[in-house]
Amino acid sequence: MAKIITLGETMVSFAPQEHTSLIYGPALNMRIAGAESNTAIGLCRMGHSVAFFSRVGTDSLGQFVLRSIRAEGVDTSLIIRDTEHHTGIMFKEPKLHAETVVYYYRTDSAASHMSCKDIPEQEIAGAEMIHFTGITPILSASCRQMVFQVMEIAAAHGCAVSFDPNIRLKLWKDQDHTQLMLDCISRASYLLAGLDECRMLYHTDDIECIAKRAFSSGHLRCLALKDGSRGAWICDGQDICQIPPADCVCVDPVGAGDAFNAGFLSGILEGKSFADSGVQGAFCGARATETYGDTEGLLTKMELEHALQHIAPVCR
């Protein structure tokens, strides 16, 4: 049985093979993309037993998603094959000297039809931790109900809850889901959030103030505030420590937060301190920015250990 379960939507991602606008019809690379499956793959590469819970269509794209995740060693037995709805897709458009633009086509996707009847209660009861992001409850009303039911089951069985708001304003559209994010945070054991996201949710960028608000629920064990190229902040409810950024040559920041989550949660599952887990997260997040795909830059356990010890690989 898996030690950690992640749940959410994985899409098929298409991106130009070169830095060319989609306007000009460039040849496209086909990969998978999804915050929770990215983290699952990252954890699996570091030696943890991980299962991914989701829905995909029975179309060829759904089969591509399944094969890609399964090839990384993630348990896909909890993924439901939906015969009535399609697998979600997205297009990435890299911009020189600007953030990558993402176009989502996930309305009425198979994953958006996840519901409480799909929940693998026995597997959650036997897991140490579940992880999800704020994307999943935004997908549909049934997804929202499912997420809160999962958290209730986890609480009943002593399973820790890891939550990353992962705010995507394109999915929020004209609605304000701030309270929904805060409701998820109030039930979380670990909050892995971007500092910019907390600025939106709490209307401040004061670290101490954010921590005080986040820990007010009484459930939170640790807050990891991700601040991109400036590193991260780790708080246990009393002390706050700053994690310096790891060196990297950034080509695409998409997926860095998911990689940080994998490194951080790997440390937690291995019984390391919050600070050491944060350092792991920083290294994993930095390395993920050095590739264009969401998962290609995720580190193995040995690669992470070498990075932490500043051991240069022998290439020739």
E-assigned strands of the chain? 4-7, 11-16, 28-33, 50-57, 79-82, 89-95, 98-105, 129-133, 160-164, 190-194, 222-226, 232-235, 240-243
86 CB neighbour count, 10 Å cutoff: 18
Collect all residues with Cβ–Cβ distance below 8 Å to 194 and sequence separation of at least 6. Answer: 165, 167, 225, 226, 227, 228, 257
- Contacts of residues 69-75 at CB distance under 8 Å and 24 or more positions apart, as own/partner, are 69/10, 69/32, 69/37, 69/40, 69/41, 72/40, 72/41, 72/44, 72/45, 72/295, 73/44, 73/45, 74/37, 74/40, 74/41, 74/44, 74/50, 75/2, 75/49, 75/50, 75/51
236 part of the active site: no
Candidate list 118, 164, 252, 258, residue with the active-site label: 258
Residue 52 tokens, joined = 């991914």
Both structure tokens of 297: 């830059």
Q: Measure the CA–CA gap between 297 and 257, rounded to whole angstroms.
A: 12
Quick one: tokens of 256? 């860095």
Distance of CA 288 to the CA centre of its chain: 13
Cβ-proximal residues to 223 (8 Å cutoff; 6+ apart), any chain: 190, 191, 193, 210, 211, 214, 215, 233, 234, 235, 237
Active site residues: 258
